[in-house]
Amino acid sequence: MTILVLAQHDNTVLDKATLHAVTAARAIGGDIHLLVAGQGAAAVAEAAAAVEGIAKVIHVDAEIYANPVAEDLADLLVAMAADYDYFLAAATTFGKNVMPRLAALIDSAQLSDIVEVLGPDTFKRFIYAGNAIATVRSDDKKRVITVRTTTFEATADTGGSAEITTIAAVDPKGLAKFVGREVSGGDRPDLTSARIVVSGGRGLGSGENFAIVEALADSLGAAVGASRAAVDAGYVPNDYQVGQTGKVVAPDLYVAVGISGAIQHLAGMKESKVIIAINKDEDAPIFQVADVGLVGDLFKIVPELTSKL
C-alpha cells in the first residue's frame, strides 16, 4: 500500500498539521509519500524529507502552487492518483477545501476528520459536533481521508532521510485566482498547536474588553481563542473561533473566560487535558466539562489571576 500525504506549508515552513496527518498514515501502514507543491519551497521539501517514516518526498515547483487553489491542487493529485491507495491531509481549512474535490474526481467517498484508525479500511470519526462517534468502513479502492490533528500526535520532524523527487505541474484551468490573505494573530502561539489556550466569550462584552483575555494569555504564554458568539459579535477575527465549525483544539490547559459552553463550542475543546472555566453564571454548561470552575465576575477574576501568576 502506498499513501500520499498532502503537505501544508507556506513555501517556507512545513505546517505542523501535516505531521499529525503523517501519524494517521503510519497507523494505516505502508509506504508514505509527502507531496510538497509550492513555489520556491525547496526548504519545505527538505524539511518533509527529514520527517520520520517518510519514504519519498514529491516536490512540484511552479508559480501556480505559490498560493495554490483547490482546483489546481486537486488536478495535480488526480494526475498522481494511479500510484496511490490512500490520500491524506490534515482536516484544516486547507485540507477540507482540496480533498473532497479530489475524492469526487476519482469517485471515492471521503472520510472526513477521522480521529482513530481501526484498520486499513475502518476508522472512527465524530458526528453531531462530537456528540457521537461513528465507526465507518470504506470499501473504495482509493481512500481519501482528512485527519483531525488533535487526536494524532505529531510525527517527529527529524530522523528521516527520504529521497526527494520532482515532478511537473499540471496545467491550470484558470478557474480561480488567489488575490490575497489577511493573517491575524501576531506573535502569540498558534491556536491549534499551543500547550495553553485562553478563550473569551460573549461575557467579555466588547472587543476592547478582550484585552484582559489577551493579557492573561500572554502571562501564560498561551494562544487566544474565542467562542462563536464572541466572533459573531465582532470582538475578535474569525480565525480565533474554537468549535464545531471553527478550530478544534486540545491543549494541556484550556481556560474558558465568559463562555457559556454551547454544544458547538464544546465540540472544539472538550478533548483538552485540563479545562478551567470562569463564568458569572454558576449553571453555565461549561462547568459540566470544566475540571476547575470559578464562579464570579470575570472583570475582577481575570486581572487578579493575571497579576498573581
Q: What part of residues 3-62 is at the interface with other proteins (CB under 8 A)?
A: none
Q: Is 168 in the site for other proteins (CB under 8 A)?
A: no
List, as own/partner pairs, every contact residues 70-75 make where C-beta atoms lie below 8 angstroms and the sequence separation is at least 24, other chains included.
70/97, 70/98, 70/101, 70/176, 71/101, 71/172, 71/173, 71/175, 71/176, 72/170, 72/172, 72/173, 73/6, 73/37, 73/98, 73/102, 74/98, 74/101, 74/102, 74/105, 75/105, 75/170, 75/172, 75/173
Considering only 60, 114, 276, 298, the residue that binds other proteins (CB under 8 A) is 276
Cβ-based nearer residue to other proteins, 50 or 70: 70
Q: Measured between alpha carbons, how far is 72 from 112 in angstroms, rounded to an integer?
A: 21
Q: The C-alpha cell of 158 is what?
A: 527529524
Pairing of strands 223-226, 196-200: parallel
- Enumerate residues 221-250 that contact other proteins by CB under 8 A: 228, 231-232, 237-239, 244-245, 247
Please say which residue, 158 or 179, places its beta carbon nearer to other proteins: 179
Site for other proteins in 173-202 (CB under 8 A): 173-185, 192, 195-196
142 is an interface residue for other proteins by CB under 8 A: no
Round to whole Å and give the CA distance between 39 and 61: 5
**Is the Cβ of residue 76 or residue 162 nearer to other proteins in the bound state?**
76
Q: How far is the CB of 160 from other proteins (least distance, A)?
A: 25
Binds other proteins (CB under 8 A): choice among 82, 132, 186, 208: 132
Subset of 71-130 contacting other proteins (CB under 8 A): 71, 74, 92-94, 96-105, 107-113, 122, 126-130
